[in-house]
Amino acid sequence: MDWPASYTRGMRRPFVGGNWKMNTGAESAPALAAATVTEVGDAARACDVVVFPPACFLIPVRSALGDAAVGLGAQDVSSEANGAHTGDISAEMLKEIGATWAIIGHSERRRDHGEGDHVVAQKLEMALESGLRAVLCVGETLEERKAGQAHQVTARQLRAACASIRAEQMHDVVIAYEPVWAIGTGVSATPQDAAEAHRMIRRELGILYSPELAQAVRIVYGGSLNAANAAAILADPGIDGGLIGGASLKAGDFAQVVRTAAARGQPQGRH
Ligand code: PEP
């Protein structure tokens, strides 16, 4: 398969996403977007940077981002194209208002909305078929980790989500390894554990697709990543950036993570 120049072996462009979750307001969302653009500055030239505000603020955030090199994404997307699905937002609707990314399979949606592997797979398929790019979240709970099932659970989620995804579509997927016990807790995975999980996911991608594809797909870490621990966690060459919750609400902290990721000196690409 042909991959763009920015995806040749060992040259994965870093990715850093800011998942604002159910935070910010009508004034603070565009203000945070503007501050993020300012703080990130030139670092966005060497790193894909995407913010994921609450759905109701996507349009004002898009305006605040202007033509800056910071992308816009939704925190979720419907598995359906249109019709009687109260409260859902389709991939086409997101595209229409300027979003180009969607987070899919975040553990908070799996937990709060009972989204299982099947729904996650349907959402990923719908997003990609519609032309959105996706951050696919996988990762184990504390109980699963204590039971020694961390890799098994993460691999199962990955296999299920990718079951209907063609190799060429994986170009539009960033995988976020997010151990659930590290999300919003202030306790991140150790750099060693994060690196090992990323290696396992890359091995799985190699089995599911090909070794070449496994080397080309970006895998990022999420779970209490912040300005203070980013350098240690992102030091591993197999970790291509991060998905950040809490620290993305502070533009300066978020930008520090972006700079850390960008410093890996990767080529330019799309945002
Ligand atoms: C997340 O929700 O994707 C996340 C990583 O959150 P936090 O950084 O707050 O742990």
pLDDT digits (tens, 9 = 90+) for 35-72: 999 999 999 999 999 999 999 999 999 999 999 999 99
Q: What is the pLDDT of residue 265?
A: 56
Mean pLDDT across 115-123: 98
- Kindly report the pTM of this predicted structure: 0.94
Give the number of other Cβ atoms within 10 Å of residue 35's Cβ: 17
**159 burial via Cβ count (<10 Å: 0-12, 13-18, 19+):** middle
Of residues 80, 81, 82, 131, the one with CA closest to residue 102: 131
The residue contributing the CA closest to ligand 1 atom 4 is 245
- Dist CA 270 CA 170 (whole Å): 15
Which structural domains are found in the chain, ordered by start? 13-23+48-262 (3.20.20.70)
For residue 137, give the ligand 1 atom closest to its CA. 3
Q: Look at phi and psi of residue 139 and say left if phi exceeds 0, alpha if psi is from -120 to 50, else beta.
A: left
Cβ atoms of residues 126 and 104 within 8 Å: no
Cβ atoms of residues 50 and 17 within 8 Å: yes
- Dist CA 131 CA 87 (whole Å): 21
Ligand 1 centroid–CA 244 distance in Å is 5
The residue contributing the CA closest to ligand 1 atom 7 is 245
Q: In whole angstroms, what separates CA 95 from the centre of its chain?
A: 17
pLDDT surpassing 50 at residue 2: no
Q: Which two tokens stand for residue 270?
A: 């799309």
For residue 244, give the ligand 1 atom closest to its CA. 8
Mean pLDDT across 160-174: 97
Mean pLDDT across 119-131: 98
pLDDT surpassing 60 at residue 193: yes
